[in-house]
Amino acid sequence: MSLAARAPAKINLSLHVLGRRPDGYHELESLVAFAGASDLLTLTPGKNLSLQVGGPTAGHAGPDDDNLVTRAARALMSRKSGLRTGAFHLTKRLPVAGGVGGGSSDAGAALRLLAQHNGLSLTDSDLVDAARQTGSDVPVCVEARARMMCGAGETLGPLLALPPLFAVLVNPGVAVETRRVFAELGLCPGEDLARRAHTPINDGLSTRDLLHRLQETRNDLEAPARRVAPVISDVVDALAGTGDCLLARMSGSGATCFGLFATCHQAARAAAHLRVRHPNWWIKPTALR
């Protein structure tokens, strides 16, 4: 029988850039949460590894043989002799190159399905290494639960039980290349920005307390991303202008932005308001966890 898993949108509620390491990677601190909006991945067990991609945003996902799903599967196969695989089918719904970790979340879902199919723990050392090899954002997407992500993505904090967070995700239909945004940031290898540590985020916070702490954080990639894609400013302003929005910010390296709201009804009303004014934007009310 086929196995199925959601690949939820990864939302960087904060994203602090602390500097750039001598190896060229940027040193980050980010509070990551995951949305109800998602891609869908299925695995039909079989002798050979394969992938088919369909869905509304499939045309922008790149060649199937270089998709992060197959790259993650091959990375795990190289570490686990006799790993059972099969035919993956990916339904793409999330914006591609949109700052919501769509490809990384697809890879995380692939590793979850292979773990289920082979009786592996999600903390299996080979699986963790395969996630790291596949991409910087893939390790946090394996369990797809809220937590702090640090370093270049390889260091994960404990899972966090966040209070309810209701959000509207908006992408203006513009793909933003992550490398270009980091290049626009302009840090040299070995450069340390000496910024203060991220505001602590822990279990047991109320929604009000969490929002207050988020106000003390930022996304350091938002300013360079706005220079690369000025429409991001329009999206953030549109979210902030809905009236009930408590915080409007860009996710990841853009161009997807999010607005946080006190209730699901306010989020749904804001999404409906934005759809009327911007019918060509991708707009999703959702809950984050």
CATH numbers and ranges of domains, the chain: 3-156 (3.30.230.10), 165-288 (3.30.70.890)
SS3 11: strand
End-to-end CA distance of the chain: 29
Q: Is the pLDDT of residue 201 over 90?
A: yes
What was the pLDDT predicted at 82? 96
Can you give the pLDDT at residue 195? 83
- pTM, two decimals, is 0.95
- Residues carrying an active site annotation: 10, 137
Chain mean position to CA 163: 19
Report yes or no: 112 and 142 within 8 Å, Cβ to Cβ. Answer: yes
Say whether pLDDT at 65 is over 80: no
Q: Where are the alpha helices (DSSP H) in 46-177?
A: 68-77, 102-118, 125-134, 138-143
pLDDT band at 63; cut points 50, 70, 90: low
- Answer whether residue 61 shows pLDDT above 70: no
Q: What is the pLDDT of residues 231-280, one digit of tens each?
A: 999 999 999 999 899 999 999 999 999 999 999 999 999 999 999 999 99
- Kindly tell me if the per-residue pLDDT of 68 is higher than 90: yes
Provide the CA 91 distance to its chain's centre, in angstroms.
17
- Provide the token pair at 191: 């450069």
What pLDDT shows up at residue 197?
A: 84
Phi-psi group of 154: left, alpha or beta (phi > 0 → left; psi -120 to 50 → alpha; rest → beta): alpha
